[in-house]
Structure 1
Amino acid sequence: MRIAQLANFVGPASGGIKTAINALGAGYADAGVQRLLLVPGPVDARESTPHGDVVQFRAPRVGGGYRLIVEPWRVVAALEQFDPTSIEVSDKSTLLPVTRWARRNDVGSVLFSHERLDLMLGMRTGFEETAKVASAIHNRFLVRQFDAVVVTSRFAQREFGAAAASAGTPLHRIPLGVDLDDFTPAPVGGPVGGPVSCSTLELGRDVHDGVLRLVHVGRLSREKSPHLAVATAAELHRRGVRLRLDVFGEGPHLAELRAIAGGAPVVFHGHIAGRRALAERLAAADISLSVCPGETFGLAVLEALACGTPVVTADVGGASELIDAESGEKGCADPSSLADAVLRLAARSVNRRRAAARARAEQFPWQHAVDRMLDLHGSLDRTRPVEVRAG
């Protein structure tokens, strides 16, 4: 097989997309597949890597640091040279002409949907109902352009269910994975505590140093809901809980978040470079707040769980599907309900909740996602000989 991965609308908030594409691409290459990655960037460039060539196309900025390929015919030229057996497209806009090329040339096409267009537009514009109507119309057109659509959660699946069924386009739910080697629990050592009651926490006591350590990782922009995480910490502080929330990430709404935090002990660290450095900070926390109600999957949730750090999520969104009854807690998407969820989770045995978190993450190795994607691409490879059975 020869798989071309096409990523577009790349920018500062697309870390999860980059992680997923790179992890899948590495898995494809390890399986002996020829892989080509095509992405936008500031200049034209080509690079050979152990996991296949990467072709970068000069692309303009379109706001917020994002770049978008606006010359799809240049992508087609690169594909014709590579001669893929299937393409995997992480884009819902300017690369759609590429799917028509694929159909004309009998090349299989997969839409890998990393976000819900209706929710993303609604959060950014504030016009939720208008975004839903516009996205529904677009999705009815979109699913007819591909041979298959892949989503990562039941929550994401609901965006395409009716449109895919109407068009007869297969819809596959394939959860992503986590690097279980880079994201690991902290070494055993230090004090180990037993159950902590909510009343004890409200008095400001904890099994470590008297402070409940919370962490939030993500882009500081509205579609990622960092405001809700910070407001949850502020609510706990108002109740008298001794805590510290460490926030890792950059974005345009830092000033707003500082205002929401007020006098609560919230520390904004900016971007953390390096996966191991991030893993160490996740592992040092008692609880991770990944509370975005519009998240279609939640790689940050899996990374925290893999570090042995249980997670509080909103009870809607794809992230809520990643935790189970032992590895986290859910609350309504408001600070009071999420604060209650934090206290419920903190009341459990430290050993129990950390072990449960790691065990849950181990159910999502990247190899599972790679294998299922390879099966899908294999089913779209029209160059494979058809097996004819005697009978």
Structure 2
Amino acid sequence: MSADALHAVAVANFFGPRTGGLRTALLEIGRGYRAAGHRYSLVVPGERDAAIETDVGVMHTVAAPPVPGSGGYRVIVRTGAVQRLLEELAPDRLELSDRTTLHGMAHWALRHGIPCLLTAHERLDGVLASAGVPVPLARRLADARNRASLDSGATVVATTAFAAREIERVGGRPVRVPLGVDLEQFTPVERRSRAGVELLLCSRLSREKWPDLAIDTLRTLREGGVDARLTVAGHGPMRAALERRSAGLPVRFLGYLEDRSELRRVLGTADLTLAPGPIETFGLAALESMACGTPVIGNAASALPEVIGTGGAAGLAADGTPEAFADAVDDLLLVPERVRRTAARRRAEQFPWQRTVAALLAITPTPDPVPA
């Protein structure tokens, strides 16, 4: 490494063992850092304490309990073990992707004079509300934690304007850095003409993602005379309930697709992808779909309208009801297939991971003062 190289250590909870948007983002960022000549390490939860060599650097797992009903996600409670790891790793920069049990690592970095980036990968108010916390209380709790984030000395990063708004609500000024997509791995595939409409849901099957809206959209379309089918790619705690909900409908469940080439084929051969989650702060699966040439219909309440863009050909935003999603499907199918698929790919090409990495490396972390 050159004298200008830095050692960045990424620390996160909810780092899926095989899949998940956060896992994808941190690994892609790590590859970008390595390609730029920097050193990158990860500290994430796992079944046991371990140090694993990966293509992005060493991944240190800290034994952590699984979160019930989360589909396999874990949360580190042994924060002292994380601090000891950080002292051993001696990072030049800490990149924190958690505002739950690891939030205090930003204060650790401040005490040790280490610059820290704190990325808001989720809307805290939305996550709390989806877990059943009353909305006014969810907002107050989120505001309190976000004020603490601003008070931690970290430079706060948000992936979209939607993600930034709850930070701005308490007077913060987060740096906006969109995530990206692997434009070489996710590319359009050859599609054969066939009857009917092939819809796709590519998502973790959990409550906050609203996967049931995709099934209800299919039902609404078919009741309106549209010959539509739905493929569900993903796994999660709601799968059994969704299978029951889809009884009598043409729905197939593929589970998690570990083979990236198979995922590309599934993404690329659908007519449209549905992204029904109302609290998505970016939507990596939706962007991967567009990179494969498949337009997206996203929940208008989420960050998806920012990712899809304006103009309508690459995708549409719809209110979170089956009727609104079904209407958006009808509207998007009026656009000639070649036009909408070309538009989807071109939109995705605006989000290469190289741009994300360059933007992060360009940040000089400085404390964000707490508003008076």
TM-score w.r.t. the length of structure 1 is 0.87
Deviations 1:208-260 (A, max 9, x none): 32210110101111101101111111100111110110011112222332343
Contact kept in structure 2, 1:86 and 1:381, CA below 8 Å:
no
Deviations 1:352-387 (A, max 9, x none): 0010010000000000000000111xx2399xxxxx
Q: How much does 1:14 deviate?
A: 6.4
Query: Could you tell me which residue of structure 2 aligns to residue 103 of structure 1?
Result: 110
1:213-228 alignment, distance < 5 Å: 213-228=198-213
Q: Which moved more, 1:267-276 or 1:231-240?
A: 267-276
Q: How much does 1:172 deviate?
A: 0.7
1:55-66 alignment, distance < 5 Å: 55-64=60-69, 65-66=72-73
Contact kept in structure 2, 1:35 and 1:52, CA below 8 Å:
yes
Query: Could you tell me which residue of structure 1 aligns to residue 348 of structure 2?
Result: 361
Q: How much does 1:51 deviate?
A: 2.0
Contact kept in structure 1, 2:91 and 2:114, CA below 8 Å:
yes
> Does 1:153 pair with 2:160?
yes
Query: Could you tell me which residue of structure 1 aligns to residue 339 of structure 2?
Result: 352
Match of 1:269 among 245, 248, 254: 254
Q: Which moved more, 1:366-375 or 1:260-269?
A: 260-269
> Does 1:314 pair with 2:314?
no
Q: How much does 1:132 deviate?
A: 1.6
Match of 2:234 among 237, 246, 249: 249
Q: How much does 1:13 deviate?
A: 9.7
> Does 1:130 pair with 2:115?
no
Amino acid at match of 2:142: S
Larger Rg: 1
Query: Could you tell me which residue of structure 2 aligns to residue 72 of structure 1?
Result: 79
Amino acid at match of 1:362: E
SS of 1:322's partner is: helix
SS of 2:170's partner is: helix
Deviations 1:152-175 (A, max 9, x none): 11111101003243xxxx411111
Distance 1:127 1:12, change over 3 A: farther
- Report the Cα distance in structure 2 between the residues aligned to 1:339 and 1:220, rounded to whole angstroms: 20
Match of 1:175 among 166, 175, 178: 178
> Does 1:299 pair with 2:284?
yes
Identity of aligned residues (%): 40
- Report the Cα distance in structure 2 between the residues aligned to 1:262 and 1:174, rounded to whole angstroms: 42
1:80-95 alignment, distance < 5 Å: 80-95=87-102
SS of 1:19's partner is: helix
Contact kept in structure 2, 1:233 and 1:261, CA below 8 Å:
no
Number of residue pairs matched? Answer: 358
SS of 2:346's partner is: helix
Match of 1:185 among 166, 184, 188: 188
Distance 1:31 1:253, change over 3 A: same
Distance 1:129 1:141, change over 3 A: same
- Report the Cα distance in structure 2 between the residues aligned to 1:14 and 1:268, rounded to whole angstroms: 17
Amino acid at match of 1:21: L
> Does 1:375 pair with 2:362?
yes
1:46-57 alignment, distance < 5 Å: 46-57=51-62
Q: How much does 1:263 deviate?
A: 2.4
Distance 1:268 1:50, change over 3 A: closer
Can you give the 5+ residue segments of structure 1 that lack an aligned partner in the other structure?
A: 191-207, 383-391
SS of 1:68's partner is: coil
Contact kept in structure 2, 1:4 and 1:84, CA below 8 Å:
yes
Deviations 1:174-210 (A, max 9, x none): 11000111111013x64xxxxxxxxxxxxxxxxx322
Contact kept in structure 2, 1:143 and 1:163, CA below 8 Å:
no
Match of 1:23 among 21, 24, 28: 28
- Report the Cα distance in structure 1 between the residues aligned to 2:261 and 2:60, rounded to whole angstroms: 27
Distance 1:369 1:267, change over 3 A: same
SS of 2:273's partner is: strand
SS of 2:308's partner is: coil
TM-score w.r.t. the length of structure 2 is 0.92
Amino acid at match of 2:53: S
SS of 2:104's partner is: helix
Can you give the 5+ residue segments of structure 2 that lack an aligned partner in the other structure?
A: 1-5, 368-372
Query: Could you tell me which residue of structure 1 aligns to residue 322 of structure 2?
Result: 335
- Report the Cα distance in structure 1 between the residues aligned to 2:204 and 2:356, rounded to whole angstroms: 25
Query: Could you tell me which residue of structure 1 aligns to residue 43 of structure 2?
Result: 38
SS of 1:88's partner is: strand
SS of 1:163's partner is: coil
SS of 1:145's partner is: coil
Amino acid at match of 2:154: D
Q: How much does 1:95 deviate?
A: 1.6
Query: Could you tell me which residue of structure 2 aligns to residue 238 of structure 1?
Result: 223
Amino acid at match of 1:350: E
Contact kept in structure 2, 1:232 and 1:339, CA below 8 Å:
yes
SS of 1:158's partner is: helix
Query: Could you tell me which residue of structure 2 aligns to residue 229 of structure 1?
Result: 214
SS of 2:324's partner is: helix
Q: How much does 1:262 deviate?
A: 3.9
- Report the Cα distance in structure 1 between the residues aligned to 2:156 and 2:337, rounded to whole angstroms: 40
Contact kept in structure 2, 1:246 and 1:266, CA below 8 Å:
yes
Q: How much does 1:100 deviate?
A: 2.1
